[in-house]
Structure 1
């Protein structure tokens, strides 16, 4: 009889464990579905002075970026960023500085949703700074009217954020004993997906000619803002296959040949898949194209 009671208790415990496991699994599935639907979570800003010291940022080999928030006092904006450091083998130093890439996400996605690109860049010896542009309280991105006109406010605000983050870290390099002193903020690659590409192109077209620091721009299927036609800025635009860019956004064949710029379309690629949520084959194709560009191996004949 005692043995029967113990067995009943054991069954009850097993049923309770099973129930808890089912509830836990449902919670995980729900959280994943929120991410898949691009829900932007509200986060509490860090103090304005909270720039993470180099020692607290995990090395690139651990694929663990450093999170911090920088404060733009003039615009009263707390700007979340992720730092991805290159591996030690890149041998970055103040005497031999490594390059910098600033990454901008598509509208509705987080700055942390492009790890596959950030990791490719960091393994190529870049410091990658991924920026969150859209903050609580910002106006929604316009979807009506002449989008080049109605979205200009968003692109200008984003360009100002890029400028601020660039100057923030450049000043930190000069004023503080931080690892950012090992990176060249006068040789910067801008990379952006969709609206993040529009923001990057907007800034590249309007940077100060006497103080230009943007040497390359890489866009993933941005569609609204014309790419710079500047021989001093290397241009690569990786295109999906489902939506065309607006007229004049991409360089034509003659301009590509004259300026050495490159436009590559990936067959069967979808605009909304160009992030960590996309299929593996597409992410690998994007990584390969970016890696080839960074190693200056793309030839004009391969830009079709």
Structure 2
């Protein structure tokens, strides 16, 4: 099975590099916009005996984009329902139109245990964040084998809610492997108090992070961490549930963070 997956990845590389171009030019911004292609992978981590579904979004080009930027997206908690890695298409497609290669991971499988609803979140949810961090690392290493043209020196993680906690944990464990982390209202895992990787967070209007999770104003200034509250967006509307105005605001901030 692993060989089949590896062959599929290789085919994806050929497909990505041999597609016909379709580039639109915006008259208002004069910015080149790529047509977006979508694909999917079913990876398998034999060391953990675990499948990892991945949705891919990337620009349609005639040749490799040298050092093409890579973004890995991690979804919020979906109670093990399928399709969670395709719940952030607004963000993924926006990134792909600007030349980014986006890998969106499904962290939950139907037979996984549900996250406990009682107990101290930082304790009872930690195994789920650890699993998510391991998933991110595995996907990153697999992409290095097959999409070697990507820019692995400046990897970006974007995570919503529980997926944001996973991404923040990854920054703690592997600070040398990620350049930027964008948290969409993660509430439990404390942010690293460090200048590297660069940390950004969009906060909802209706939910508050646990004490000690977000850096203080002084720490934000010291380490260059950016925290922005979205006054018109609730926690559950930071994925594809967002309306047009909310999507634009979220995507505009993300693109600003990535510059």
Would you call these one fold, judging by a TM-score over 0.5? yes
Aligned to 2:42: 69
CA distance in 1, matches of 2:46, 2:5: 8
Within a 5 Å distance, the mapping from 1:198-237 to structure 2 comes to 198-207=165-174, 212-237=176-201
Structure with greater helix share of residues:
1
Where 1:185 maps in the other structure, the secondary structure is: strand
TM alignment of 1:183-202, pairs within 5 A: 183-202=150-169
Aligned to 1:106: 76
Q: Is the 8 A contact 1:107 1:194 kept in 2?
A: yes
Within a 5 Å distance, the mapping from 1:1-304 to structure 2 comes to 47-49=4-6, 50-51=8-9, 52-56=11-15, 61-86=34-59, 88=61, 92-93=65-66, 97-108=67-78, 110-172=84-146, 180-207=147-174, 212-295=176-259
Q: TM-score, normalised to structure 2's length? A: 0.85
TM-superposition CA deviations, 1:96-140 (whole Å, max 9, x none)? x12211100111161111011112222333211110000121110
CA shift at 1:90, angstroms? Answer: 9.8
Q: Is the 8 A contact 1:48 1:78 kept in 2?
A: no
Partner of 1:53, secondary structure, is: helix
Measure the CA separation in 2 of the matches of 1:46 and 1:112. Answer: 25
Return the TM-score normalized by structure 1: 0.73
Name structure 2 gaps, 5 residues minimum: 23-33
Q: Is the 8 A contact 1:124 1:291 kept in 2?
A: no
Superposition deviation, residue 205 in structure 1: 0.8
1:300 alignment partner in structure 2:
none
Q: How many residues align?
A: 238
Q: Is the 8 A contact 2:86 2:104 kept in 1?
A: yes
Deviations 1:250-292 (A, max 9, x none): 1111011111110000112110011112211111110111111
Larger strand proportion, structure 1 or 2?
2
Change (3 A) 1:148 1:90: farther
**Inter-partner Cα distance in structure 1 for 2:144 and 2:210:** 34
Q: Which has the higher contact order (CA 8 A, sep 6+)?
A: 2
Name the counterpart of 1:21. Answer: none
CA RMSD of aligned residues (A): 2.2
User: What is the alpha-carbon distance in structure 2 between the residues aligned to residue 123 and residue 228 of structure 1?
Assistant: 31
The structure having more radius of gyration, on CA atoms, is: 1
Q: Which runs of 5+ in 1 are unaligned?
A: 1-44, 173-179, 296-304
